[in-house]
Structure 1
Amino acid sequence: MTTPRLLSFDLDGTLVDSAAEIAEAVNRTLQEFGLATRPVERIRALIGRGSHALMSTVLAQARAEASFECLMPEAQVLERFDAHYADTTGLFSEPYSGAHEALDLLHEHGLQLACVTNKEGVHARRLLDRHGLQRHFALVVAGDTLPRQKPHASVLRTVAAFMAVPLHAVVHVGDSEIDVLAGRNAGVRAWAVPHGYNAGRPIAEAGPDALLPDLMAVARAALDPAFGRRPRRRHPDA
């Protein structure tokens, strides 16, 4: 393996702790339609497949538990969720410790950076902008940018091709099994940080190629020739 030339980062749970504001938007939406709200912990466990997928899942659960029939079409509920999330973005979220410093360090050393998230583009760009993170990335791929989302192999392969970097020089950094599988499926190394969501399960269980304690450790590892050449893990299903 060569040292990394391109690092792609997941967004929610990796770069930014956004669970509280996603939960706030979800609960404002539920309240608007007279449905019971959900604890942040239950909503946090659903983060990873995009905001609309999360809202649809919570809506189905809330409808099933309601004492009345909520007839509002799901598309209209999602429109209201989008409006509420636009209001809450940046209010109840914070970049994880070292996020800006790590990205600056990688950029200073000439590594290319991409943000690859399953969150819808409008929400992803707004979140990045609110926290001043957009400037770090040459490319942002959201959940509605391509025909498929993570963990499909085509996502990271498309990113690598667009950035003209061979797969063996790409590392994807995330907080969930979805990110680990995205890397594995695409044939790139998957590194993980432990501070995210992953449906409440330890990310080590997903078998990342490397588990780093924080984002600065990710940057230092990427710039360390010995660490950066570590190969992908071999998996029984690979």
Structure 2
Amino acid sequence: MKKKPFTVVYEDNHLLVVNKAAGILVQGDKTKDKTLTDYCKEYIAEKYDKPGAVFLHPVHRLDRPVSGLVVFARTSKGLERMMELFRKRDIHKVYWAVVKKKPAEEMGKLTHYLVKDENRNYVSAFDKEVPGSQKAELSYKRLGKLNDHWLVEVRPVSGRPHQIRVQLASMGCVIRGDVKYGFVKGNPDKSINLHAFHLVFVHPIKKEKLYLRAALPEEPFWEQYLELEPIKAKDQHIDNTYSG
């Protein structure tokens, strides 16, 4: 059975937030493969019986092999205001990553300067600022160990391309399946074990605080880690704490 490219997590007149399956592009690239944006436009057109072009724009991106939350704007006002929230970093993001090597510290913060090679689609991390680099920061916490792998919760402060992947790899904790950044072998479905799990932000038009959560991919390796998430519906205080 072919897995669905996305499931809807939140929807109103201004926003559509979906849980993206690993392997789906958010926006088009040279492969010309069908994108998450295409799938979501079809969904909106069909659900609301909209003839003609559908206005729908992703506010941010997730790498192709990564699963989890992606926010789309359904109106130009929604797009403009959501872009502003991301630019000001008024969005609280939580990712789960599975790594083989145990992070040395239970909790820590990483700061690097990243340079992207567009031709190779590869990002290099440096400890000090170098020409053309962008500063990247994240904090992390070990949540526990299962089957010889560690579950790490990651909270990026900035939103740079491949940021979590290359920053964790820089401390020796390459994400499971991420051969690009040094994991020994890929996952059979070409995914990597990185999932955009939570988003918390104030709705740009309604001004209500949204606590959004994307279910883990429906596959046994991921699902076993749910036992390490003691907080389920009680994520209302996620602004201040880790879920572990």
Give me the TM-score of the superposition, normalised by structure 2. 0.28
Question: What is the TM-score when the length of structure 1 is the normalising length?
Answer: 0.29
Greater share of strand: 2
Higher relative contact order (CA 8 A, sep 6+): 1
Give the number of the structure whose residues are more often helix, by fraction: 1
